[in-house]
Amino acid sequence: MSETTHDSDAAAFVAHWARVGPLLAQVTRQEQRQLTEEQHLQAVANVLEPAKPDASPSKTSGLVEQQRLFLKGRK
C-alpha cells in the first residue's frame, strides 16, 4: 500500500467518524435515558466491582492476551 493510499484511507476514516461519532453519542444518550433506576445502579455496580477492597487482583496485565489476539489477526 502506498503512502498516498494510506493517507487517503486514514482521511476517509477520520471523516467517517466525524459524521458518525456524534450520531452514535446521541443514540447512546437516548439508550441511557431509557434505563430504569435499577439498571443504572447495576451499571454503576459493574463499573465499581474491580475497586472493591475484597476483589481479587488481576493475575496478568492482559498484555499476553492482547499479543495473542494480534497474532491471531495477522493470520
What does the pLDDT look like over 1-34, one tens digit per residue? 567 788 899 999 999 999 999 999 999 999 999 9
Asked if the structure places residue 34 within a domain, the reply is yes
Asked if the structure places residue 32 within a domain, the reply is yes
CB distance 22 to 14 below 8 Å: no
Which grid coordinates belong to 26? 446521541
The rounded Cα 62 to chain-centroid distance in angstroms is 15
pLDDT, one tens digit per residue, over 63-72 is 988 998 999 8
Asked if the structure places residue 33 within a domain, the reply is yes
Q: What is the pLDDT of residue 18?
A: 96
* Residues in Cβ contact with 55 at an 8 Å cutoff, skipping those fewer than 6 apart: 49
In the chain, the amino acid numbered 12 is A
Q: What is the pLDDT of residue 73?
A: 84
Number of domains in the chain: 1
Instruction: Give residue 74's pLDDT band: very low, low, confident or very high (50, 70, 90).
Output: confident
